Structure 1
């Protein structure tokens, strides 16, 4: 049922031959029943090892990550793109990400006091294509001393197969299914 709702709420923008063919998942957020089911469905991808914290990049990773965190009864930590400290004393962990799907070179960051040893971290996002953000998140978690559990996403469109193993990428759909 969830998978069919994901199909119904999704569309491609552009023609099939268009080199700028883009995914449009915005219909997912308009379906209240689908939205209610996404947190439990993404959490179920890692049911064997419960996280103590869920993380995800702004903005869709934050939307989905909070749904997963609320479902699991754990906290959520947002990973910010190109963050800047609010003051000189504001301590951040930051890592450069490889080029993303828009060929941007972003930095991903988190305040140092939000992740640390003893945390078991589950990464959540809507889509993985280049894997730039999930790879940067994996590095951030390692640098914080926390344990990486894996990455739960709605769509796996990973361009590099070794990335799936490196970050333990699990998805509700593969891009070929859309």
Structure 2
């Protein structure tokens, strides 16, 4: 399934996501970290991750009107470790009514192998091959 929008978490996911969106000729939405409604008056969707690779819980979000119900969304990032960022991105996408089609990253270092199927996640290389 071809995406209509690519999302990418700050900071490297924003760069890779924007490049992916440009290559595909689709829109791009940056998922911001620890920022939100206080930065402007637009309505934001916010979600908090489960523990990340440093055992932190991080708040991610974006303006509500950036995704539409008919959008097919791909998340792009540099690295997947716990899957916490991808899971919260999926929750954000679902909260808008858009359709999550999956996640892509450069390095797959997932600690929970079931997430590869559940997200689904595709990568360029697995951590064990580095």
Provide TM-score, normalisation by structure 1.
0.70
CA distance in 2, matches of 1:155, 1:140: 23
Please state how far the C-alpha of 1:78 moved relative to its aligned partner: 0.3
Q: Is the 8 A contact 2:43 2:64 kept in 1?
A: yes
Are residue 152 (structure 1) and residue 113 (structure 2) matched? no
Q: Secondary structure of the residue that 2:82 maps to in structure 1?
A: coil
- Structure whose alpha-carbon radius of gyration is higher: 1
Task: Please list every run of 5 or more consecutive structure 1 residues that lacks an aligned counterpart in the other structure.
Answer: 1-48
Which residue number in structure 1 is paired with residue 57 of structure 2? Answer: 105
Q: Kindly indicate which of the two structures has a greater share of residues assigned to helix.
A: 1
Whether 2:26 is the aligned partner of 1:67: answer: no
User: What pairs up with 1:128-167 in 2 under 5 angstroms?
Assistant: 128-167=80-119
Using CA pairs under 8 Å that are at least 6 residues apart, name the structure with larger relative contact order, 1 or 2. 2
The match for 2:46 is 94
Where does structure 2 lack aligned partners over 5 or more consecutive residues?
none
In the aligned structure 1, how far is the partner of 2:57 from the partner of 2:100? 23
The two structures have a TM-score, normalised by structure 2, of 0.95
- Output the CA distance in 2 between the equivalents of 1:109 and 1:116: 15
Structural RMSD (CA): 0.9
Aligned-partner Cα distance in 2 for 1:70–1:52: 11
Deviation per residue, 1:145-169 (Å, 9 max, x gap): 0000110111111001121111110
1:25-64 CA distance string (max 9 Å, x none): xxxxxxxxxxxxxxxxxxxxxxxx2110000100000010
